[in-house]
Structure 1
Amino acid sequence: MDYERQPYRRCGRSGLLLPAVSLGLWHNFGEGKPLDGQRAILHKAFDLGITHFDLADRYGPPIGAAEAAFGRLLPRSLRDEVVVTTKGFNPMWDGPYGVGGSRKHLLATLDRSLQRLGLDYVDIFYLHRDDEETPLEEQVATLDHMVRTGRALYVGVSNFSPERTAQAARLLRSLGTPLLVHQPSYSLLNRGIEDSLLGVLEEEGVGCVVYSPLAQGLLTDRYLNGIPADSRAAEGRFLTPDRVTPEVLAFVRSLSELADSRGQTVAQLALAWALRDPRITSVLVGASSPEQLEANVAAVDRLDFTEDELATIERAAKESGVQA
């Protein structure tokens, strides 16, 4: 591990530090991906000081495959040096207990995740979604039980509204198990958390680890000259061609000019922009190669922005129509 490569940020009001850039295993781990390639990405992550690895029970394909691959590849000698996270709520097996926020499902799906990972505990377990059909009291009591039984060290929520996040934080606090972190989507093309969620997290002392900071690849130079045949948009994988609009491309071209002046790529600029706010603990990036991961982590080499640069970004967003 190279602990000097990037900064580590405190997660909310906890004692846990996370790297500014963390590795998400949503897209590129699982069956259909060469095991040697996955191993190379993990080893590069260690070299880059990435200590935080984000998974979910459903990540694959097939479902569960990302956890199983990570479990095979993680050197057990590094267990105490890494933060391993997973999530529950997702449809995982047939029947009434195979999905949702019930105590029955959440404990079972975490136990299955631990089996796939080959671990005794995860560092963070997230409620992946808010199950509005299950009382929030039951969901958070289950999180508390996970910590008390040693299945998880910390707990978090993902994709919760500001109001439900505040409720979950207060309920967990009353049980003696703090809400460590929230994981929302956030990028230059998706700024909704700025309206109120970040304020709630700051007030409640909850960290924020954001996913899709590159908007599934839109905030890169990948689509400036059309949609490549081997791209995520061409395949319709979490990004469809209709999202590659003239407005988005105009905005990305403006970002490209600014990035050039800063000695960065568009992707590095977008990651640095997300990290400009001290309430953001870490950004999750995926990687299809060690080289791509190294390029993304290089965003930390230039995290400062001048007022003029921030104003340029805001103006470009408004002029292109991607931000009201």
Structure 2
Amino acid sequence: MYTAAENRYDLMPYRRCGNSGLKLPAISFGLWHNFGDDTPHATKRAMCQTAFDLGITHFDLANNYGPPPGSAETAFGEILKTDFRPYRDELIISSKAGYDMWGGPYGEWGSRKYVIASCDQSLKRMGLDYVDIFYSHRFDPETPLEETMMALDHIVRSGRALYVGISSYGTQRTREAHAILKELGTPCLIHQPSYNILNRWVETDGLKTALKDLGIGSIAFVPLAQGLLTNKYLNGIPAGSRAAQDKSLDPSVVEMAIESVKKLNDIAAARGQTLAQMSIAWVLREGGITSALIGASKPSQIIDCVGAIKNLDFTAAELAAIDAISEEKAINLWAKSSAE
């Protein structure tokens, strides 16, 4: 039987999420990859236990995470039952609706029908009465934004979630969503955009500044560019990697960025950090992002990532060098969704 480490809160920083009363760990754990039926359940349990023992209280999911879709939530529901049930009130559990989940006209996007039904399905898979945060996973250009936001408001008022957020919305849509939710009386707690050294659209789009102005928290997904900003690809594309499998990371993207990644690795080494640690520290620099959302395929990767919190400060020279490299290879795999 699992017993959480007694010192789990000693080292992890917890940051206030926007203007809310909620604090999130500087590093959160996402179950997008490696929590489907293709990963042994024992490995999933070990990763979740390791994360919580290191002070990671936030576990991020979505309806379609797997494969197959829904299987990540089912697996996490089992882990809640066997390991985390005594710690439920110490956890922030989030899920989302927006991408393709089931067949027919009501299985994706942002209609009230889909969003509320998806939330109910997620709760059932995880065996929960409520999630802490529920997101609109992407902007729906064919559904009135008011309808999607009213569905989120209903999810909170009906007790299905404590807070709501949005993911991959561009600046203008974020401002509109914030205004609608504010009028409804259910504030937008958090935005989840893609953001890393090689993908800085939240800066050029003005989203990072807008979130600060609006008092909305932020959690950056793919801070490691799906493994590209780690030591995994320094010597090419290894067998079994996401790029080798063409699994959400195009091998041509790796080939294009590899020289820039090597330069970044040299800067990290000079800082006494791994490339992954420096990349996470960069996302969290100066408090502009509330939490960095990491993924992992084994517990040791989580341990390495959490090591980033030991050094979150950068010199002006380091930031200038990173800026010069990031300008060489700007990569935004979510450009279409974040343009809305």
1:261 aligns with 2:270: yes
1:134 aligns with 2:133: no
Partner of 2:253: 243
* Aligned counterpart for 1:60 among listed residues 66, 80, 86: 66
SS state at 2:114 partner: helix
SS state at 2:108 partner: coil
- Show structure 2 runs of 5+ residues with no match: 332-340
State the 1:5 CA deviation. 2.1
Alignment of structure 1 residues 158-173 onto 2, 5 Å: 158-173=167-182
The TM-score normalised by the length of structure 2 is 0.92
- Show structure 1 runs of 5+ residues with no match: none
1:144 aligns with 2:153: yes
* Amino acid of the structure 1 residue aligned with 2:242: R
8 Å CA contact 1:207–1:279 kept in 2: the answer is no
1:200 aligns with 2:206: no
State the 1:46 CA deviation. 1.1
* Aligned counterpart for 1:116 among listed residues 125, 139, 149: 125
SS state at 1:284 partner: strand
- Higher mean displacement: 51-60 or 199-208: 199-208
SS state at 1:235 partner: coil
Whole-Å separation in 2 of the counterparts to 1:278 and 1:43? 27
Cα displacement string for residues 88-115 of structure 1 (whole angstroms, at most 9, x for unaligned residues): 0222222222222111111111000000
8 Å CA contact 1:123–1:153 kept in 2: the answer is yes
Cα displacement string for residues 177-211 of structure 1 (whole angstroms, at most 9, x for unaligned residues): 00000000000110010121011111110001010
1:47 aligns with 2:53: yes
Cα displacement string for residues 282-314 of structure 1 (whole angstroms, at most 9, x for unaligned residues): 011011111111001101111011111111212
Whole-Å separation in 2 of the counterparts to 1:46 and 1:244? 31
1:322 aligns with 2:340: no
Cα displacement string for residues 245-304 of structure 1 (whole angstroms, at most 9, x for unaligned residues): 35x222111111111111100111111000004220001101111111100110111101
* Aligned counterpart for 1:282 among listed residues 259, 267, 291: 291
State the 1:323 CA deviation. 4.9
Whole-Å separation in 2 of the counterparts to 1:297 and 1:52? 13
State the 1:225 CA deviation. 1.1
1:6 aligns with 2:16: no
The TM-score normalised by the length of structure 1 is 0.97
Partner of 2:103: 94
Whole-Å separation in 2 of the counterparts to 1:213 and 1:227? 19
Whole-Å separation in 2 of the counterparts to 1:153 and 1:175? 15
1:211 aligns with 2:221: yes
SS state at 2:174 partner: helix
Whole-Å separation in 2 of the counterparts to 1:154 and 1:184? 17
8 Å CA contact 1:89–1:128 kept in 2: the answer is yes
* Amino acid of the structure 2 residue aligned with 1:219: L
1:20 aligns with 2:26: yes
Whole-Å separation in 2 of the counterparts to 1:59 and 1:204? 30
Cα displacement string for residues 51-98 of structure 1 (whole angstroms, at most 9, x for unaligned residues): 000000000000000000001002211110000000002222222222
Whole-Å separation in 1 of the counterparts to 2:178 and 2:236? 44
* Aligned counterpart for 1:37 among listed residues 36, 43, 54: 43
* Amino acid of the structure 2 residue aligned with 1:38: K
8 Å CA contact 1:57–1:63 kept in 2: the answer is yes
SS state at 1:296 partner: helix
* Amino acid of the structure 2 residue aligned with 1:104: K
Partner of 1:300: 309
Whole-Å separation in 2 of the counterparts to 1:228 and 1:257? 20
1:76 aligns with 2:82: no
Whole-Å separation in 2 of the counterparts to 1:138 and 1:198? 25
* Amino acid of the structure 2 residue aligned with 1:42: C
| CA RMSD, 1 decimal | 1.2
Partner of 1:232: 242
* Amino acid of the structure 2 residue aligned with 1:118: G
Whole-Å separation in 2 of the counterparts to 1:323 and 1:315? 11
